[in-house]
Structure 1
């Protein structure tokens, strides 16, 4: 399993804090894909730029798709640019992939399947493996989860490349949250104008 797929599975688990917002999850998944591609030696980082290496298939459909989407010409793409470009709608792509591969299912009503967008994880080896990585606090997965606010403990023992990617992911998540907060404030101000306040 890849870090991105494990993160998608963990994000589907019922949590006391509620689900991860799709935009935030998409940024985290895009960052996890970079980390998976580094681990597969399909890319290397040159500063904050993603330099494609050998295009060897990883065996994971979405990760192979990510590898083929890399900018292959200099000056290459920065990690930040990748997060925003690749992350667009990525949480939906992973949710669909989990359902397509049988790792999630739609809850069934008494007579017909419910027509909600909600899916539930099935008991599978992939779910248990992701849960084990989560429970043991595997550093990369823990650091990505901390960026989403799912975990608080800092990760230790990370390489410079991993730290670079995680710092960029953290900044992107904060930027997205600032945009969300600004929108809430603007919407509230607009509502107040219409109400005559």
Structure 2
């Protein structure tokens, strides 16, 4: 399994104080992809810019698509720009990929409708692997999950990865999710103001 697939499963299995927003999850999944590409040697960081390296197939269709979409010409894309570009619709893409593999049958989805009432096998490998990684306190998966509002122990400090590039990715994911929430807040305020105009006598 890959970090994005583990993160998607964790987002549906681990309780959180608020429902996970699909946009937040998409940004975090793009960050998870980048973390895996860095770990696989398919990309590197020059400051906060992504430098593609000679590609190797990862064995995962979506992760290979991510590697193929890295911009090879200079100036290289920043991590922030990558999250917004690659993240568009990514939560739905990963959901559909896991659903096609039969990993999501009958599972509760917080931002997608449940299809059918059958229960997922308790020993489904993907689900088990994601749970084990979550329980291990892996700093990358823990940091990405915290960015979308999922924490093993609310308020507990996170352990930073021992790789500066991964620290950069996690920090940028957090900033992007915060920015997206600010956009939502502005829209809510604007919509409320517009409604008040129409309701005024």
TM-score normalised by L of structure 2: 0.88
Select which of 152, 156, 161 maps to 2:160. Answer: 156
Check if 1:118 corresponds to 2:80: no
Q: How does 1:157-196 map to 2 (within 5 A)?
A: 157-196=161-200
Distance 1:122 1:166 in 2: 32
Tell me the secondary structure at the aligned position of residue 41 of structure 2.
coil
In structure 1, the gaps of 5 or more residues are: 108-115
The aligned residue for residue 67 of structure 2 is 67
Question: Is 1:8–1:95's contact at 8 Å kept on the other side of the alignment?
Answer: yes
* TM-aligned CA deviation for residue 74 of structure 1: 1.0
Counterpart Cα distance in 1 of 2:120 and 2:25: 17
Structure 1 residues 192 and 81: alpha-carbon distance in aligned structure 2, compared to 1, 3 A threshold: same
Q: 1:166 to 1:190 in 2, by over 3 A?
A: same
> Which structure 2 residue ranges, 5 or more long, are not aligned?
none
Give the conservation status (yes or no) of the 8 Å contact 2:11–2:145: no
SS of equivalent to 1:104: coil
Cα distance, 1:121–1:27 mapped onto 2, change above 3 Å: farther
Instruction: After TM superposition, list the pairs within 5 Å mapping 1:1-197 onto structure 2.
Output: 1-13=1-13, 15-106=15-106, 117-118=113-114, 122-123=121-122, 124-151=124-151, 152=155, 153-196=157-200
> Paired residue for 1:110?
none
Residues 9-51 of structure 1: per-residue CA shift (max 9 Å, x gap): 1112162524310000000000000000000100011111111
Q: CA RMSD in A?
A: 1.7
Q: Deviations over 1:95-117 (max 9, x none)?
A: 0011011111257xxxxxxxx73
CA distance in 2, matches of 1:103, 1:94: 11
Paired residues in the alignment total 189
1:147 positional shift: 1.2
Q: Which has the higher contact order (CA 8 A, sep 6+)?
A: 2
